[in-house]
Structure 1
Amino acid sequence: MVRKIVLSLIAVLVLGLYAFAQNKQVSGTVSDANGNPVAGATVMVDGTSIGTTTNAAGQYSLSAPADGTLSVTFIGYVGQQLPIAGKSRIDVTMHEDTQAIDDVIVVAFGTSKKEAFTGSATVIKADDIAKSQQSNVAQSLAGKVAGVQISNESGKPGANPIVRIRGFSSINAEKDPLWIVDGTPYEGDLNNLNPNDIESMTVLKDAASNALYGARGANGVIMITTKKARGQEATISVDAKWGVNSRAMESYDYIKSPAQYYETYYSSLSSYYRSQGMSESAAHAMANKNLAASKNDGGLGYMVYSVPDGQSVIGTNGKLNPNATLGNHIFYNGQDYLLTPDDWEDIAFRSSMRQEYNVSVSGATDRSTFYASFGYLNNEGITENSNMERYTARLKADYQAKKWLKVGANAGYANFTYNSLSGDGQGNSSANIFAFTTSVAPIYPLYVRDGQGNIMKNDAGITMYDYGDGMNAGLTRPYMPNANGLSDSRLNTNRSEGNAFNGTGFFDILFLKDFKFTFNAGISLDETRQTTVQNPYYGQFAGENGIIGKYHTRDFSHNLQQILNYTKVIGKHNINVMLGHEYYQRRQYLLYGSTANMFSPDNDELAGAVIDKQGATSYVTTYNNEGYFGRAQYDYDGKYFASASYRRDASSRFHPSHRWGNFWSVGAAWIVNKENFMSGTHSWLDMLKVKASIGSQGNDKIGNYRYVDTYRLASSNGEMSVAFLQKGNPNITWETNTNFNAGIEFGVLQNRISGSIEYFNRKTTDMLMAFPSAPSLGYSSYYANVGDMSNKGIEIDLNFTPIRSKNVQWDISVNLTHLKNKITLLPPERRTLQVDGYNGYTSGIYFYGQDLPMYTFYMKKYAGVSEDGRSMWYKNEGDTRTTTTEYSEADDYLCGNAIPDLFGGFGTSVSFFGFDFGINFNYQIGGKVYDSGYAAAMSVPTSTGSIGVNWHKDMLKAWTPENPNSNIPRLQYGDLNATDTSDRFLTDASYLTLQNINFGYTLPSKFTQKFGVGKLRIYLACENVFYWSKRKGLDPRYADNTDSQGVLGTANAATYSPIRTISGGINIQF
């Protein structure tokens, strides 16, 4: 017996030694198609438990049978099966599994397989976000998502864009989409989110996607998912970039020469005097005499040329005297002053620096994941006192405590400081440096200079700026007197600083095999302190010795969600049912006060001034939302899909009796290519999906307390009084958006060609509008549910991959959207005017008419130039249309609308042997924009205004007896209304923007691994590279008074220009 046992042990030992002898050490590197290491990839010996994972450099090593097979897998890549065949080194190249990467998308309260998703959604990935070089993640959407329009009120650092998804759902109610960060509603400033922390953005566009968000989903939902660890191996990522900012918006083609400006202005005066009966010689003499006279005499107030005694500045030929010299000495009150013009734009605008640094650490075990990051951004503006500085940090972790319990938390923090121009966004305000420097004539000095040309300083040592108020040699500037936009931008302060925190925590509990309960809690807190200082030295507040203002705002919100999921697979039937409850509250606080008569400009606290300018005031406002919801999803055999959702929502913005609303959706999809009758197409057809959905969402974005009368306290003769602040309407309720969506998704030739085509029809009913009332009632309007609106359109999204090989890949993408907007119903009280058979009302330059697009222009039509050079407009006389040179006699007409016919984007990217290149464009075709900047630059001087305004060079083409065929009216001083509002200045709003260019090189891993570096990429990136529009200086994407509903109805050089950034950077992964 003992002998048998011994022999058995010997046999086992021998066989084991033989097997060991057949094993050998196998090592290698796992990399992607560009040669970058793939960290955290799983390398297993097929059919055994032998395995390992790759390190940060993509390396692995294990002992394996010589005749075994390696199985290499990693999320997002096609798995590899490689026979060992006695080799000791096996390097593996992984290729992205495009279908797997796109297989799961983030949806309302969870995720969904893309093929099972019955709604409409577009995903923007981390790589696309990173390459956009934007500090605000919303800008990364520009041109990337069909159906999404991005417009801007300002290009300053820290500005938030306006985002619209599939049109405009209301006239007065807000149209902003709902932002969700890691499952929790986010109402904070998007600038406080570091784009480098974002894994993906998912834009949900239809009812099947948004109905579960009920009250807030009518305008679309944008879901942000932050990064988490992707592999078990710890990874450290460092990204640093340095760039130069410059002005991306061109100026109009202004007259830049002082001589040419004086000659042109002389022409307007001379023409005027001749029209008054003066002879040529008399008109010439009078025009020269009054050229630099005061405004009352029609003059410019300043003369920066000197000529010999007895000679005129402008000759009889209308040209500058050849003996004139630039620089004019004036003796005033015993002081010698030198008048010489300055190039205001050249002095005001600058190139500046942008620098950004991001560091992240991530890792995972079989039970936990961990991600931590820190970021710093310093983005200087293109003017002084205009910049953004931001510190961000994020910590995200989850832990599988038990098989049935998973917990996690995610916290983000931002510390920020913004310096802004005091007049930015205030149209043609004298404090708006963009308005002032581009519109002031090129003859005016920026500074006050002594006789030697030195810039003078006041008694406090402060540079003396020419405010056109007599300080400079007693001269008064007719254009914006007592103003100097550049001085205001340098001496005034508008600073915002604060902290922002957003955090979420959750736990998942699995029970009874098929059930999962999830609890989510989220909070968001923004604290901002704003300081404004109006300098005590110059300008409109010098008489009060300066003003200090303080604002403190606090925005706090919290969100609680309880979600129960049931998932069951029965043969080919897949069932998922979800029930949930959500509660959301937002409280906003404001505290404000101001003082005047500053002690010192170095002290910008309220205690630094002694006169109470405005008594301190404060308020708090609260918004509550609560909802109960459910969703059922079903699919059979991975071919037929159906979904249904329902939410009952309550909003504190409505009276308790009208507070609750019901919102729903149903959807279905069919994967046609999986049918047996499609078997003959399998060699080339990868996917063909047909889908449709319909449902409703609500919109309550009209501000708080609109359903109740509110009052303000006032003081009258020392006694307290009460006055109406806002008239309430207890009957207002939900604005409802019913959304139908139908489309197809396809992929052919191994997905080398893929895309989608979708039709949508959004119908808004019970539209919330400001309803006018008689002023005698003490209030001008109140809100009511009146009117309907529709937005119909088609979206096309196409992707091409002409080349896909081991070392080279070339991708092309294009998307376009066609949108038709229409107001389908207005109440009788709003149909106060009939124009061309349409009934509606006017507001500003728009006519809001039933059966017309919302942004329809309504103004006078320009009819050209009369025989004597005056502007003409059309008017109606019965059924006949005639012309008139009297603006007041002309009629208003419908003149098109601001909504484009097509908009979208296209781009291409190429990767080859470690190099990568990408370029993206945005475009818009059709629509109109009122070019008020151009209109101002074509204005004619009169006694009531426009004297000293800079002119566009088109003014040199104006009508004259020698140029009778011009369509530009004569330039004659005193011609009133020549450039008043008319369709003469309505311009095609089409544009093409080269949004960004990226070029990079990733060093081979076999080289970087020698230094312990897994990946090293160096790159160049350009943002806001160039744009083409109908007119130089016109950028339809930006406006100085963007309509609050998000369409750029007017454009003006007064807008803070978009910023062009050219950066170089390096990305290192360990």
Structure 2
Amino acid sequence: MKNNYSRLKWVALIILGGILFFLSKSANAATTNIAYFQQQEISGVVQDQKGQSIPGVTITVKNTTRGTVTNLNGEYKITAPANGTLVFSYIGFKTLEIPIDGRSEINIQLEENIASLGEVKINAGYYRTTESERTGSIAKVTGEDIEMQPIVNPLQALQGRMAGVEITQRGGAPGMAPTIRIRGQNSLRDTRDDNGNLPLYIIDGVPINSAPVPSYTGVISGTGLDPLNTIGLSNIESIEILKDADATAIYGSRGANGVVLITTKRGYARETEVRVRLYSGAGQASRKMNVLNTREYLDIREQAFENDGVELTNSNAYDLLLWDNERYTDWQEKFFGGTSEILNMDLSVNGGNENTSFRLGVGYHKEGTVFTGDFDYQKATAALQVNHVSDNEKFHIDLSLNYGADTNNFLNSVNSSLVYLGVTLPPNAPPIFNTDGSLNWQDWDAGNRDNPFGGLYNTSEIYSNNLLANASFSYDLLKNLKFKTNLGYTDFGSNELIKMPKRSYNPENWGSITARSTHSAVERNSWLIEPQLIFNKQLGNSELDVIIGATFQQNTNSRLLMNGFGYSSEAQIGNLMVAEDVSVNNDASIDYKYNALFARIGYNWQHKLFVNLTGRRDGSSRFGPDKRFANFGAVGAAWIFSEEKFIKDALPVLSFGKLRGSYGTTGNDQIGDYGYLDAYESTLAPGGLIPVQLFNPDYSWEVNRKLEAALSLGFLEDKINTEVSWYRNRSSNQLVGFPLPATTGFNSIQANLPAEVQNTGWEVVLSSTNISNQDFKWNTSFNISFPRNKLISFPNIEETSYANTYRVGQPLNIDLLYSYAGIDSETGYFTVEDINEDGSFDYQDRVIERDRSRKFFGGMDNTLFYKNFSAQFLWEFVKQEGIDPYFLLGNLGNASNQEAGAINNGNGQVPSQSIQAQRAHGFASLSDLSTSDASFLRLKTISLGYNLSNNLLNGLGLKKGRLFVTGQNLITITPYEGLDPQEIGIYLPVLRTITAGLELTF
């Protein structure tokens, strides 16, 4: 029945589209005699104020999608209504609107205005605005900034570029999902499988599941794979981040953690153009930890035995007695010191005519690994955009298709530990391989240790494919009223196969090991229907914009996990048909349904005063029967006071000034499906069931109340622009597991706790045009954020398990620590304070809070142009605290290498292997002694380019040509002694990459 209903909906939509198309043709035939629709050809030349022709200027017919672009000589031709208006726009120049007035030739000169805020177009989701007129907090990064970086995931391109947006790249392995936080952590649920802090991702109007895809491969099991990996970077037009209530409330229950809008490139009417972009290069781990050499390591080990008064034996001192004391191996270089080769190719074809335009883009990206072994990441992408407008310009169709497929090949179970082993293995440890190339088990067995490459022949392949389709139909019902329907469909699939043959392991253990395989499959698909009515009316000196719409969405998520055991032949591993035993660990398919009504009313008076009202009523299947619907809304306002005459007279140096503010509510339904229902598990004995989850009909939405105020200023004709924003977000009704007494027979019940989390902060954005003349231009942009996070209330927290995780009045991202009390003068061991003097050390004694949140962060970007040369470099900076790497590597004196500072006993404890010493080291690692400054300044991106001269282009038959070199993560300045201050711990640091390439347009 459900399938029949779905088919009927799609049939109805197809019929509706046909009717609208027929109406457009009928309307066209009926109105061809109206002056507005009398078309004529206009031609001309576009120049700058010095009389130089400007190629690449976009000319559009106002209030339509019809347009063209000037050629190399600045010439253009376009067909337009005799009484229409042409809009000329080009980066670095003021946009110019010219009435046609029946003319067939229009030549113009554009006025240079690099920093003009009014011309920067912003995607606000259901509508578009400009940088100067927006009432909400929206940050934007262009496709040019994204595609020039040798990265896999588009979110990585945002690091250091946006105020209030924290992007943490989880290690240097390709495909790993980065962590994104927009204005802090709102939810107490912050784990991979149940993360209430993920933003809403919208691609070309279609929402996608933003949760990382789970993986059972060791190197990425902690983060998962990001579904955005399969998006072609060269197909992205822009990424906008919506932050405050005014910008996000129209997305209602899904906007609490911000919204990420990804817009792909579309075609435009012009002669067919082919663009080819190619680059290749290499990457290496950007940092290594400074550890002890062989002599230093052995001295500390010998001293530990002497301090403990323990006799050396082959069992406890194998590294001193059995291993070569003259041998030295840089294990970091051995394990992850390789070179990752990078290759990227993109091809796009763009063209069309007055009514129909298209763009086809395809791409291929391959990236190797720095780990030992021939493993890589590959992806192929394709995107098609088709845009059509009827002759009378009433009927519009926009079609967008994006498809991507990627493959991750990993050395399973080895890569996940090689970084840690690279730092901690004794420098005199024996070789990994024998002289014949086989794994060396004998020397490692002598020390009762596993060969670090145990599992060498295990392999893991993860194949993912992602289809995203969007179709938008609109029809002008009346002069000021438009009907629009947005249709979307997504289909994501990921399959993982891990093979573990017996030969990966020590032959002495083969009797207890069987060849096995792990199979996992994840499927996510969804459909979306959004009908809308759009009204626009000019009311004298004011303008009114109204959007009324509805959302109908359904997602289906399925997950399957199986294991196969007992393969008789290595060649058959992975074929479950020949496995001796097969187990199904997880098999589930869940539907998620979401409906909503939304509206927006936008009003502006004389383009000086703006008011924006948004509202949404949402319904989600994730909540109890009585709590499925909720209302969300916001109000935003802005006043461009620089347009007032008294301001212009009093402050002539001020070219732009705006005050804006917003307040509203958004929600959060980023939780598991059907968490409010009873749940049961089968008993160990067959035929029985036991309850594991209680029914809660009042399980409902988290609510986030957002408040913001901002001041924007522009000076010297917008050559200097700045914006200062203050925000306060309060998230309440927290969706977590509420602990229950043991007498109930349940650990917890899914419920809304009355806890409240607050995020406040200041954001400063500054941009400037430092120099601008005919030959040389220099632009700078700078942003800095000062976020503050706090748990402002949690009634009776001391009676819950969260008492050992959070403190009221403190940030969520804290470590609860002991107070360090110094070195015991008799034992030489670390000591911490027993606060309640009960003779034991527990959470009652952990009274120090270490805030691991960023104190401030930001970036500074500079772009320079000199004739045909260009240079761009971005610095990212972060102020934060971390954990001293000395306390990440184990007790001083163990058979484990140490951070180089340990040779001077810089932290005070004497080398010892005793249980007491190790226990003391453990307490110290959980004390304020372990705190380290992990701030850093990083040259995130540097790019150098050269545009081929017009004479050379004409000789080669090219429209455009560019050579470029790009560096990523080239320099990191930090007091932190660990591998990477960005991700505290023993993880693979981000890669330092250098690539070179060319871009040609035919």
Cα RMSD over matched residues?
3.2
CA contact (8 A) 1:143 1:923 kept: yes
Give how far 1:155 is off.
Answer: 2.3
Query: Which of 377, 387, 400 pairs up with 2:389?
Result: 400
Of 357-366 and 579-588, more deviation after overlay is shown by 357-366
Give how far 1:1000 is off.
Answer: 0.8
Q: Does 1:271 align with 2:307?
A: yes
Query: Which of 982, 993, 997 pairs up with 1:1037?
Result: 982
Distance 1:753 1:265, change over 3 A: same
Q: Does 1:555 align with 2:524?
A: yes
Give how far 1:397 is off.
Answer: 0.9
Q: Distance in 2 between matches of 1:179 and 1:642?
A: 26
Give how far 1:270 is off.
Answer: 1.2
Q: 1:852-901 CA distances to partner (integer Å, 9 max, x unpaired)?
A: 211222121222223245233342567xx99x9x9789932223311122
Query: Please, what TM-score do these two structures have when normalized by structure 2?
Result: 0.85
Query: Which of 160, 175, 187 pairs up with 2:197?
Result: 175
Give how far 1:547 is off.
Answer: 1.1
Alignment partner of 1:509: what SS?
strand
Query: Which of 920, 925, 946 pairs up with 1:978?
Result: 920
Alignment partner of 1:896: what SS?
strand
- Superposition pairs for residues 1003-1014 of structure 1, below 5 Å? 1003-1014=948-959
Q: What amino acid sits opposite 1:953 in the alignment?
A: A
Give how far 1:153 is off.
Answer: 3.0
What's 1:388 paired with? 377
Query: Which of 430, 435, 443 pairs up with 1:445?
Result: 430
- Superposition pairs for residues 784-863 of structure 1, below 5 Å? 784-786=751-753, 787-828=755-796, 830-832=797-799, 841-843=802-804, 847-863=805-821
Query: Which of 64, 78, 103 pairs up with 2:94?
Result: 78
Q: Distance in 1 between matches of 2:405 and 2:52?
A: 38
What's 1:12 paired with? none
Q: Does 1:126 align with 2:162?
A: no
Alignment partner of 1:595: what SS?
strand
Q: 1:712-739 CA distances to partner (integer Å, 9 max, x unpaired)?
A: 23442xx232234444432111110000
Q: What amino acid sits opposite 2:270 in the alignment?
A: Q
Q: Distance in 1 between matches of 2:53 and 2:681?
A: 65
Query: Which of 837, 849, 852 pairs up with 1:895?
Result: 849
CA contact (8 A) 2:935 2:976 kept: no
Q: Distance in 2 between matches of 1:81 and 1:665?
A: 34
What's 1:377 paired with? 365
Equivalences, count: 910
Q: What amino acid sits opposite 1:367 in the alignment?
A: N
Whose radius of gyration is greater, 1 or 2? Answer: 1
Give how far 1:565 is off.
Answer: 0.9
Q: 1:688-716 CA distances to partner (integer Å, 9 max, x unpaired)?
A: 00011100000111211111121223442
- Superposition pairs for residues 496-511 of structure 1, below 5 Å? 496-511=462-477
Identity %: 23
What's 1:191 paired with? 229
Distance 1:1034 1:42, change over 3 A: closer
Give how far 1:1017 is off.
Answer: 0.7
What's 1:739 paired with? 706
Alignment partner of 1:831: what SS?
helix
Q: Does 1:251 align with 2:263?
A: no
Please list every run of 5 or more consecutive structure 1 residues that lacks an aligned counterpart in the other structure.
Answer: 1-25, 45-51, 63-70, 83-89, 277-285, 306-323, 327-339, 426-430, 457-462, 834-839, 942-946, 959-965, 1039-1050
Q: Distance in 2 between matches of 1:299 and 1:161?
A: 41
Q: Distance in 2 between matches of 1:141 and 1:264?
A: 45
- Superposition pairs for residues 96-111 of structure 1, below 5 Å? 98-99=115-116, 102-111=119-128
What's 2:443 paired with? 472
- Superposition pairs for residues 713-792 of structure 1, below 5 Å? 713-716=682-685, 719-775=686-742, 777-786=744-753, 787-792=755-760
Q: Distance in 2 between matches of 1:743 and 1:869?
A: 58
Q: Distance in 1 between matches of 2:97 and 2:483?
A: 38
Q: Does 1:669 align with 2:638?
A: yes
Query: Which of 328, 349, 352 pairs up with 1:361?
Result: 349
Q: 1:984-1040 CA distances to partner (integer Å, 9 max, x unpaired)?
A: 2222232212111111111112321121111111011011222223322242322xx
What's 1:518 paired with? 484
Q: What amino acid sits opposite 1:1066 in the alignment?
A: L
Q: Does 1:950 align with 2:897?
A: yes
Q: What amino acid sits opposite 1:60 in the alignment?
A: E
CA contact (8 A) 2:564 2:574 kept: no
Of 170-179 and 908-917, more deviation after overlay is shown by 170-179
Alignment partner of 1:486: what SS?
coil
Query: Please, what TM-score do these two structures have when normalized by structure 1?
Result: 0.80
Give how far 1:41 is off.
Answer: 5.2
Q: Distance in 2 between matches of 1:649 and 1:1005?
A: 56
Give how far 1:505 is off.
Answer: 0.4
CA contact (8 A) 2:656 2:713 kept: yes
Q: What amino acid sits opposite 1:99 in the alignment?
A: S
Distance 1:745 1:807, change over 3 A: same
CA contact (8 A) 1:493 1:532 kept: yes
CA contact (8 A) 2:979 2:989 kept: no
Give how far 1:408 is off.
Answer: 1.8
Q: Distance in 2 between matches of 1:528 and 1:1067?
A: 33
Distance 1:1058 1:42, change over 3 A: closer
Q: Does 1:304 align with 2:323?
A: yes
Give how far 1:507 is off.
Answer: 0.5
Q: 1:115-148 CA distances to partner (integer Å, 9 max, x unpaired)?
A: 3321111111122112333221011111111001
CA contact (8 A) 1:646 1:665 kept: yes
Q: What amino acid sits opposite 1:863 in the alignment?
A: A
Q: What amino acid sits opposite 1:510 in the alignment?
A: D
Q: 1:302-329 CA distances to partner (integer Å, 9 max, x unpaired)?
A: 6233xxxxxxxxxxxxxxxxxx765xxx
Q: What amino acid sits opposite 1:996 in the alignment?
A: T
CA contact (8 A) 1:649 1:660 kept: yes
Q: Distance in 2 between matches of 1:61 and 1:908?
A: 33
- Superposition pairs for residues 215-226 of structure 1, below 5 Å? 215-226=253-264
Q: Distance in 2 between matches of 1:92 and 1:1008?
A: 24
Distance 1:903 1:72, change over 3 A: closer
Q: What amino acid sits opposite 1:535 in the alignment?
A: P
Query: Which of 242, 253, 256 pairs up with 1:204?
Result: 242
CA contact (8 A) 1:56 1:235 kept: no
Q: 1:732-786 CA distances to partner (integer Å, 9 max, x unpaired)?
A: 1111000001101111112111021011010112122222223454442222211
Q: Distance in 1 between matches of 2:702 and 2:558?
A: 27
What's 1:49 paired with? none
Q: Does 1:164 align with 2:181?
A: yes
Please list every run of 5 or more consecutive structure 2 residues that lacks an aligned counterpart in the other structure.
Answer: 1-42, 62-66, 78-85, 99-106, 190-194, 211-226
Give how far 1:74 is off.
Answer: 3.9
Distance 1:1006 1:448, change over 3 A: closer
Q: What amino acid sits opposite 2:620 in the alignment?
A: S
Distance 1:533 1:72, change over 3 A: closer
What's 1:1028 paired with? 973
Distance 1:343 1:1034, change over 3 A: closer
- Superposition pairs for residues 592-741 of structure 1, below 5 Å? 592-607=561-576, 610-615=579-584, 617-680=586-649, 683-716=652-685, 719-741=686-708
Distance 1:41 1:758, change over 3 A: closer
Distance 1:522 1:96, change over 3 A: farther
Q: 1:787-827 CA distances to partner (integer Å, 9 max, x unpaired)?
A: 11111111000011110112211111111111111111113
Q: Distance in 1 between matches of 2:806 and 2:835?
A: 25
Distance 1:536 1:510, change over 3 A: same
CA contact (8 A) 1:216 1:699 kept: yes
Q: Distance in 2 between matches of 1:473 and 1:122?
A: 54
